[in-house]
Structure 1
Amino acid sequence: MPHMLILGMGYTASRLADRLRGQGWRVTGVRRSAGDDVLAFEDERGVRAAIAGASHILSSVPPEGEDDPVLVRYRDAIAAAPALWTGYLSSTGVYGDAAGAWVDEGSPVGAGRRTARVAADLAWGALRADMRRFRLPGIYGPGRSALERVREGRAHRIDLTGQVFSRVHVDDIVAGVIASFDGPAGVYNLADDLPCAQNRVIEAACDLLGLAWPPLQSMEEAQLSPMARGFYAENRRVANGRAKRLLRWRPLYPTYAEGLRACL
């Protein structure tokens, strides 16, 4: 039986775990607190034993401060593990601001605001020859989409001409990770086929719910959080051709329109 060890059981990783269990896999998770089939991150003996016994190892843990907590504690064990496959969920934030241009896996990294994420991405890439790094844009899916923000009155339309983002449905990430089990190691952007302004997504969510669009506002008028303001500080289109060519991956939700309808 294949055995997947997932360090960091967040939204995307939990979705992957459910899919793999449905396919007959054994899945062990690691998070801050222990539970059924989940080890506590601080249980070093248990986590190291799981690393040594897993056929597949994935980390979805983001950096904390300037360090990647998984690499700080378990780098040596993962580097020496007999696993057949290893992976890391990274971010397209490593590319920084491209002024709306396309970026692919060969684009420069390190010029953006997420220096710790860049360092972690590169460190995972250097750790093992079988490493797959998945660079992900904005993730959405059931219970975590523009639909919820609109329903809860948290959605904004920001008046920024030419601002473009990429996004990906959580189930398309899951499909991309699974497709990589039989594909070559390396870096893969998993993004949908239609980078566009966030305003279009909010408008589509409002239309699906039969609600009025929020008014166009400036950044100052919207009183965005520092995290949200950082989201608008970068402008890029993420190309997904490498995953399509090498993994034969195709997004089930090629645009936000199909993805939002599925979430609804």
Structure 2
Amino acid sequence: MDKVLLSLGHGFSARELARRLVPKGWTVIGTTRKPEKFEAFEAEGVKPLLWPCDLRDALKGVTHLLTSAGPDEEGDPIMRVGRQAIVDAAPRLEWVGYLSTTGVYGDHDGGWVDEESPTDPATVRGQRRVMAEREWLDIEGLPVHVFRLAGIYGPGRGPFAKLRKGVAQRVIKKNQIFSRTHVEDIAQVLEASIMHPNPGRIYNVCDDDPAPPQDVIEYAAKLLGMEPPPAVPFEEANMSPMARSFYSDSKRVRNDRIKDELGVVLKYPTYTSALDAMLEAEQE
């Protein structure tokens, strides 16, 4: 039977997954609100689909479903327009992936969390994610897998671009720790789950090296041969409300489950190894 993945909100992480699946004979359909993205999708072997669309029609022949769409003030946008279509398709679907965030755990003052830790988000955005996760998990018979992603980076998205543009800040907040994950490791986790489905399971997706954000900026600056930006106290930093909200949570995220259950060996277990490789790839 042919494998067909419908990717709702086909963005940075989903496109990396498609790069792994398309060469293996998968059909990948990716939705976007922007027709100007069609050409790029097609160049990657992905069939573009303009959103919004009739989800019932879009799901015909689909065996696997991935949703990257974040909730808004009205809840999960996919559920809002297509819940019944998903309910009806549930018996035909082999795997469903919901991309969430480690922000659902809230603040742990730099302490460790795993998938069994209670969800206690400190932000409205995190609270919406908890509700969205539950909406997907509560559909009877739907083979949902939830992936709680740490801070995502990869080619074109990370500290190098900010440093080169002169907008990077070395923000200092006492006991602030972030976990992060490279987009290629997200993709390999998703593929491993597709190969070994376990409906209802939740997975943290992050590397082995949670660290203060200023350490990452300092290391990236060193690699570029630049002076790191001056230290700025959190209270004085020039940040958008969205960026500032990320600093309301401080925690270290465990990733044992993706290794023990899915057999994942991280390509980039530390931010230093990832940044080294990203810069080397740029220079090739």
Q: Kindly state the Cα deviation for residue 206 of structure 1 after the two structures are TM-superposed.
A: 0.3
Q: Does 1:193 align with 2:208?
A: yes
Secondary structure in 1 matching 2:97: strand
Tell me the number of residue pairs that the alignment of Structure 1 and Structure 2 aligns: 262
The residue number in structure 1 matching 2:163 is: 150
1:83 aligns with 2:98: no
Q: What are the superposed Cα offsets for residues 212-262 of structure 1, whole Å, 9 maximum, x if unpaired?
A: 011111123322111111111110111101111111112100000111112
Is residue 117 of structure 2 the alignment partner of residue 117 of structure 1?
A: no
> Is 1:238 paired with 2:248?
no
User: Cα deviation per residue 1:47-95 (whole Å; 9 max; x = unaligned)?
Assistant: 3223131111010000122311101111121222111111110001111
Distance in 1 of aligned mates of 2:253 and 2:222: 26
Alignment partner of 2:59: what SS? Answer: helix
Moved over 4 A (4+): none
* Residue in structure 2 matched with residue 3 of structure 1 by the alignment: 4
Letter in 1 for 2:247: Y
Tell me, in whole angstroms, the C-alpha distance in 2 between the residues paired with 1:257 and 1:126: 39
**Matched-pair contact (CA < 8 Å) for 1:121–1:133:** yes
Q: CA shift at 1:8, angstroms?
A: 0.3
Q: What residue is the counterpart of 2:19 in the other structure? A: 18
**Which moves more between the two structures, 184-193 or 35-44?**
35-44
Query: Which stretch has the larger CA shift, 221-230 or 240-249?
Result: 221-230
Counterparts of 1:111 and 1:253 in 2: how far apart (Å)? 27
The answer as to whether partners of 1:52 and 1:77 remain within 8 angstroms in 2 is no
Which residue in the other structure is 1:138 paired with? 151
- Residue 208 of structure 2: SS of its match in structure 1? coil
Structure 1 residues 64-83: aligned runs within 5 Å: 64-81=72-89, 82-83=92-93
**1:182 Cα deviation after fit:** 2.5
Q: Note if contact 1:91-1:135 (Cα within 8 Å) is conserved in structure 2.
A: yes
Q: Measure the CA separation in 2 of the matches of 1:33 and 1:153.
A: 29
Deviations 1:158-209 (A, max 9, x none): 2222210000000000000000013223100010001010111101100110
* 1:206 to 2:218 alignment: no
Give me the whole-angstrom Cα distance separating, in 1, the residues matched to 2:74 and 2:29. 27
Higher mean C-alpha displacement, 175-184 vs 123-132: 123-132
Partner of 2:278: 263
What's the offset of the Cα at 1:122? 1.6
Q: Which amino acid aligns with 1:71?
A: M
* CA-CA distance at 1:152 after TM superposition: 1.0
Task: Kindly state the Cα deviation for residue 129 of structure 1 after the two structures are TM-superposed.
Answer: 4.5
Paired residue type of 1:191: C
One-letter identity of the residue aligned with 2:31: V
**Structure 1 CA distance for aligned equivalents of residues 268 and 58 of structure 2:** 34
The answer to whether the Cα contact below 8 Å between 2:103 and 2:121 also exists between their aligned partners in 1 is: no
User: Is 31-40 or 110-119 further displaced after alignment?
Assistant: 31-40
CA distance in 1, matches of 2:103, 2:165: 27
Q: TM-score if structure 1 supplies the norm length?
A: 0.95
Which moved further from structure 2: 227-236 or 48-57?
48-57
Residue number in structure 1 paired with 2:282: none
1:89 and 1:133 in contact (8 A); partners too: yes
Preserved contact between residue 139 and residue 170 of structure 1 (Cα < 8 Å): yes
> How much is the aligned-residue C-alpha RMSD, in angstroms?
1.4
The percent identity for this pair of structures is: 43
- Is the contact made by 2:151 and 2:180 (CA closer than 8 Å) also made in structure 1? yes
The corresponding residue for 1:215 is 230
Over 3 Å counting, the alpha-carbon distance change for 1:111 and 1:154 in structure 2 is same
TM (norm. structure 2) is: 0.88
Q: Which amino acid aligns with 1:141?
A: G
Match of 2:70 in 1: 62
